Amino acid sequence: MSPVKSPGPLLGLLVGALLTAALLGLYYPAWKLAGLPFVPFDLFDFMTRILPGPLLTFGIDSMVALVRALQLGPTSVVAKTAEQILAVAGLAVTALLASAILFAILRALNGRYAYPLGLALGLLFGVPLLIISLQVGQAASTPPPLSALWILGTFLLWGFGLAFSYQRLAPRPALPPPPAVAPSTEAQAPAPQVLATPMDRRRFLIHLGSATALITVAGAVVGTLAERMRQQMLAAHPSRWSSTHELPNASAAVQPAPGTRREFTPLESHYRIDINTRAPVIDEKNWSLKITGLLDKPLALTLEDLRRYEPLHQFVTLSCISNPVGGDLIGTTRWTGVSLRRLLADLPLKPNASHLKIRSADGFFETVALQTINADERVMLAYAWDGLPLTAEHGFPLRIYIPDLHGMKQPKWIESIEAIDHDEPGYWVVRGWDKTARMKATAVIDTVSINMTIIDADQRTLIPIGGIAHAGARGISKVEVRVDDGPWQNAQLRTPLSGVTWVLWRFDWPFQSGTHTFTVRCYDGSGAPQIQTPAPPHPSGASGLHSRTQML
Ligand SMILES: Nc1nc2c(c(=O)[nH]1)N[C@H]1C(S)=C(S)[C@@H](COP(=O)(O)O)O[C@H]1N2
Ligand SMILES: [Mo]
């Protein structure tokens, strides 16, 4: 029977792939069911925090552009998924390469030290990953020592598996070396090896492959089911405000053109943007809002304490500064919380306090001027969206709302507030984005509703065209539509849900066949026109006219 050669890097890749897949197959359900850390995401989130701002911005902009160009689906959902795939692939590829290198080294060493080296490789991965995971890993809900043990143990097991597989695949000396006849150096030639035959090797690989595939598939199925149940529970939640109430403008004179986006964004469709591959998990029992700094004495408020204040309910449109004109990183829901001005009145702030520095569980931070808070009672700490406690994705237990500003200025998952005597740039400002991040007046066409025509009093066929316009907290005073190179014509404005939400507009256009380009523009509440010059999202938010060409 022909002997086999020592396993090399290629077999290392194969074994590494099988064992790494199984490893991830353990991590996924352990995360979904027990809240243990999911290390690929922790590593990715760690990288996002240390990589330079311009590189991140380039990454984010390219991702948003790609998702939109390929029409892959809701931008924030697709982008999050892409990040997660990158995270898993990144760690997996690294682990595969390490396995190949381990096998190459073991071959050079003739199989000696397989176990010590395999375990050392496990440590080489496990130790940094556990440190990283404990540092960024607010997404785990297990106690840190348990998380650490889990990461270390699983990676040691992985390293052990590599060493064990190497040994099983390596040629084995069948007989003890014959006694040396003469004490010459030549006589120390390696003993004849008899061997793991190709059959043995194939059999072992089949066993290893089936065992690891079983773990991987079972892990994926169990994890996916757990996640699906969680989603269903969220969707079926009975006590949303919007499922039991009419919108305050339900009977407004202007009704949305058919095909316009929903004026009140369902919770599960609200975009989600943050620096985490998955949301930090915060247990209300262990959470309090710490208030420190320039204050007579530090305080800690529970969610109950905050809920005791008279609740403030506001319909709010929130938009991400990365949203391109016409993009979907914008949504409207009903926020509930406590006015920060009201809360401040109860805080023993020192006279030299001028700003509040807000810090979040994920390391995100931003600073708000007391002046802003005192000038506007709508600035609030919010604990509910659509009548429900904030979801983990949207910032449970507490987030801030600051009218007029993009999401990047408004931390979710707030843990502490520090009163300070100066301004400080926030997380994204440090990374090169606009310091103020005020939402720009923007109008968007959602629909040219060719299938829902109207016949007017003069027997003309009208096509409803509609969409949104918004200008932060400044309101919208006018929206105009232009068809091809025609004149700008007034659209009708629907009464908005509040002064800080988008405004739905519609324009019933007398039908003319042919291919037409529709363009929209708006004016904010003070009559100031929107910026027509196109600009990309970075660094101050996108601007430009939105248009849509349609064959009719
Ligand atoms: N703690 C924390 N808060 C955050 C962020 C973040 O990464 N971490 N991202 C901000 C950004 S850029 C946006 S656009 C909004 C998005 O809020 P949403 O995901 O609930 O829609 O959250 C903001 N608050
Ligand atoms: Mo954002």
Please, what is the Cα angle at 29 between 23 and 33, to 5 degrees? Answer: 145
According to the model, what pLDDT value does residue 102 have?
98
Q: Which residues pair with 291 in a beta bridge?
A: 299, 417
Over 90: is that where the pLDDT of 283 sits? Answer: yes
- Ligand 1 and 274: CB distance under 6 A: yes
Ligand 1: nearest atom to the Cα of 276: 7
| Confidence (pLDDT) at 540 | 97
Residue 186: pLDDT over 70: no
Residue nearest to atom 13 of ligand 1 (CA): 407
Partners of 385 in beta bridges: 335, 388
Q: Which atom of ligand 1 is nearest to the CA of 408?
A: 12
pLDDT of residue 61: 85
Which pair of structure tokens corresponds to residue 218?
């079972």
- Confidence (pLDDT) at 136: 83
Q: Is the beta carbon of 275 within 6 A of some atom in ligand 1? A: yes
Q: Is the pLDDT of residue 182 over 60?
A: no
The pLDDT value recorded for residue 1 is 46
pLDDT above 60 for 247: yes
Tens-place pLDDT, residues 392-430:
999 999 999 999 999 999 999 999 999 999 999 999 999
Of 197, 211, 209, 194, give the one whose Cα is nearest residue 169: 197
- Rounded to whole angstroms, how far apart are CA atoms 491 and 480? 5
Residue type, 153: G
More confident residue, 190 or 384: 384
Q: How many CB atoms lie within 10 A of CB 87?
A: 22
Distance CA(276)–CA(45), nearest Å, equals 6
**How many percent of the chain have pLDDT more than 90?**
85
> Is residue 456 helix, strand or coil?
coil
Tell me, what's the pLDDT at 157?
Answer: 98
Centroid of ligand 2 to alpha carbon of 549 (angstroms): 29
- The pLDDT of residue 276 is 94
Tell me if the bond preceding 52 is cis, omega within 30° of 0: no
Ligand nearest to the CA of 537: 2
CB 511 within 8 Å of CB 552: yes
Test site for ligand 1: of 328, 410, 413, most ligand atoms within 8 A of the Cβ: 410
CA of 407 relative to ligand 1 center, distance in Å: 6
Ligand 1 touching residue 394 (CB < 6 A): yes
Q: How far does the centroid of ligand 2 lie from the alpha carbon of residue 85, in Å?
A: 21
Confidence of residue 234 (pLDDT cuts 50, 70, 90): confident
Pair 435, 429: CB distance under 8 Å:
yes
* Ligand 1 nearest atom to the CA of residue 360, by list position: 1
pLDDT of residue 239: 86
| Digit-coded pLDDT (tens) for 74-92 | 999 999 999 999 999 999 9
Among 234, 45, 21, residue whose Cα is nearest residue 133: 45
Q: Which atom of ligand 1 is nearest to the CA of 414?
A: 1
318 lines ligand 1 (CB under 6 A): yes
Mean pLDDT of the chain: 93
For residue 515, the model assigns a pLDDT of 96
Inter-helix orientation angle 39-50/75-108, to 10°: 100
Is the shortest distance between the CB of 431 and ligand 1 below 6 Å?
no
Tell whether the model's pLDDT for residue 174 goes beyond 70: no
pLDDT band at 187 (very low <50, low <70, confident <90, very high): very low
Task: Give the strand pairing for 503-510 and 461-470.
Answer: antiparallel
Mean pLDDT of 165-169: 94
Average pLDDT over residues 503-527: 97
Q: Ligand 1 pocket, 416 CB below 6 A? A: no
Rounded distance from Cα 358 to ligand 1 centre (Å): 13
pLDDT of residue 199: 81
CA–CA distance, 102 with 47 (Å, rounded to integer): 25
Q: What are phi and psi of 245, to 5 degrees?
A: -130, 150
Mean pLDDT for 46-70 is 89
Alpha-carbon distance of 443 to 469, in angstroms, equals 4
pLDDT: is 179 or 380 the higher one?
380
Strand duo 515-524 + 546-551: pairing: antiparallel
Taking 50 as the threshold, does the pLDDT of residue 259 lie above it? yes
What's the rounded mean pLDDT across residues 338-348? 96
Strands, sheet with 414-420, edge to edge from the N-terminal-most edge strand = 299-301, 289-293, 414-420, 355-360, 365-369
Say how many Å lie between the CA of residue 271 and the centre of ligand 2: 10
Please compute the mean of the pLDDT values over residues 28-32 and round it to a whole number: 95
Residue 192 in this model has a pLDDT that exceeds 60 = no
Hey, which of 270, 408, 434 would you mutate to test ligand 1's pocket, going by the most ligand atoms within 8 Å of its Cβ? Answer: 408
Q: Which burial class, exposed, middle or buried, applies to 124 when counting CB atoms under 10 A from its CB (0-12, 13-18, 19+)?
A: middle
Q: How far is the CA of 239 from the centre of ligand 1 (A)?
A: 25
Distance of CA 106 from the midpoint of ligand 2 (Å): 48
Pocket test for ligand 1, best of 273, 323, 357, 401 (most atoms within 8 A of CB): 273
